[in-house]
Amino acid sequence: MIYPADIDRSTADQTRLLLVEDDRETADMLAELFSSEGYDVDVAFDGQRGLHLALGRRHQVMVIDRMLPGIEGLDLVKRLRRVGVTTRVLVLSALGALDERVTGLDSGADDYLVKPFEVDELLARVRALHRRDLIDAEVLPLGDGQLDLRRREVRLADGTDVELSLREFGLLHALAEGPRIVHERAHLRERVFPDTSAESIVDTYVYYLRRKLGRDVVRTVRGRGYQLGAL
């Protein structure tokens, strides 16, 4: 079980799992359980911290409790989906009625498990989500290269892979989904950086993308915003 620093230190060979659970005894038990199964576990005790970790690090699976302080679990899932986070999510909840389960899945969760649950079933469901993550690779064209939506990497025309942080990926994903659109800073800030009101953060991450991929990857449209450029 680890409580990480606020930096992205992910590596390709790790299976990282984010656990968001406000009951510390339950969180400790689940973190030890997942760790024993080989997962590198990040733990958050409230929805706001969960959002921060989800945006700052790469995870293969997320297990999110529904009744969370700060940001409610389903609202957390919705926010992650809005900014392009496609990581598989299992929601845990004591709310087990059919309409509650349907609401959870419609909010963007991939699975919904009612408390109390059997440990073996929980682990089996997490394994199933991880398998789906490995299978469902998707890409977007990016000039002569491509943006891998699962691995959150850019593959250049020469075959070189460039790893992106989650926020860098979110910004490039937003631009690549509408390559002919000029995206206003306010819109990009709202979509990619929902946990801050400072529009200057968009300029900061444009700088990071240009530093990694070349100045032409994002085009500045003066007085309007940004547009996808060329690799």
- Which pTM does this prediction carry? 0.60
User: Domains along the chain?
Assistant: 16-135 (3.40.50.2300), 139-228 (1.10.10.10)
Residues 6 or more apart whose CB falls under 8 angstroms from that of 57 comprise 4, 8, 9, 10, 16, 18, 42, 166
Tens-binned pLDDT, residue by residue, of the chain (231 aa): 333 333 333 333 358 899 999 999 999 999 999 999 889 999 999 999 999 999 888 888 999 999 999 999 999 999 999 888 889 999 999 999 999 999 999 999 999 999 999 999 999 999 999 888 766 657 788 888 889 887 889 999 888 999 999 999 999 999 988 787 899 999 999 999 998 888 899 999 999 999 999 999 999 999 999 999 987
Class of residue 75 by CB neighbours under 10 A (exposed 0-12, middle 13-18, buried 19+): middle
Q: In this predicted model, what pLDDT tens digit does every residue of 52-77 receive, in sequence order? A: 999 888 888 999 999 999 999 999 99
Residues 6 or more apart whose CB falls under 8 angstroms from that of 64 comprise 18, 20, 50, 73, 76, 77, 89, 90, 91, 92, 109
Q: In this predicted model, what pLDDT tens digit does every residue of 205-220 receive, in sequence order? A: 999 999 999 999 999 9
How many other β-carbons are positioned within 10 Å of the β-carbon of residue 123?
15
Distance of CA 223 to the CA centre of its chain: 30
